[in-house]
Amino acid sequence: MKVVATDREGGLHELSFQEGDTLMQVLTEQDLGVRAECGGCCACATCHVYVAPAWREKLPAQSEDEIAMLDEAFEVEPNSRLSCQILMTRALDGLEVTIAPDWN
């Protein structure tokens, strides 16, 4: 099972995942510049990604916590998600995401 991630320079990466990984864990296995500073407890907004429109509906719903934490992200769009809050399942095989801009 794979995730297709677009990095900040536009490069495409096919990343394999197992059921039970969080999307953040999948993205941080390679150095694609995802900081994920809080380690995945929805407390820092540095694992911000954009989900390809076709996949939005297939993802687990956003918690209040995640919506609130996105306040500390920049360039937030309707398809913005914190990748640590997305638990990977078979249904997400082929998921396409773009890594959001980094902080200076």
Partner 1 sequence: MTGERVSTDAVIIGAGPVGLFAVFELGLLGLKAHLVDILDKPGGQCAELYPEKPIYDIPALPVVSGAELVERLMKQAEPFEPVFHLGQMAEKLEKLDNGKWLLTTDLGLELEAPVIVVAAGGGSFVPKKPPIAGIEAYEGSGVHYAVRKMETFRGKHLVIAGGGDSALDWTLNLQPVAASVTLVHRRPDFRAAPDSVSKMHALAEAGKVKFVVAQIAGLEGAGGQLTGVKLKAPERGEWVEPCDTLLPFYGLTMKLGPIAGFGLNLHENLITVDTEKFETSVPQIFAIGDINSYPGKLKLILSGFHEAALMAQQAFHYVHPDKKLRFQYTTSSSELQQRLKVA
* Footprint of partner 1 (CB under 8 A): 35, 37-39, 41, 43-46, 67-76, 101-104
Please give the span between the terminal C-alpha atoms of the chain, in angstroms, as a whole number: 33
Distance CA(12)–CA(38), nearest Å, equals 26
Judged by CB, which is closer to partner 1: 59, or 70? 70
81 sits in which H/E element: strand 80-82
Q: How far is the CB of 27 from partner 1 (least distance, A)?
A: 17
Output the six-digit token pair for 50. 């954009």
Judged by CB, which is closer to partner 1: 45, or 92? 45
Q: How far is the CB of 103 from partner 1 (least distance, A)?
A: 4
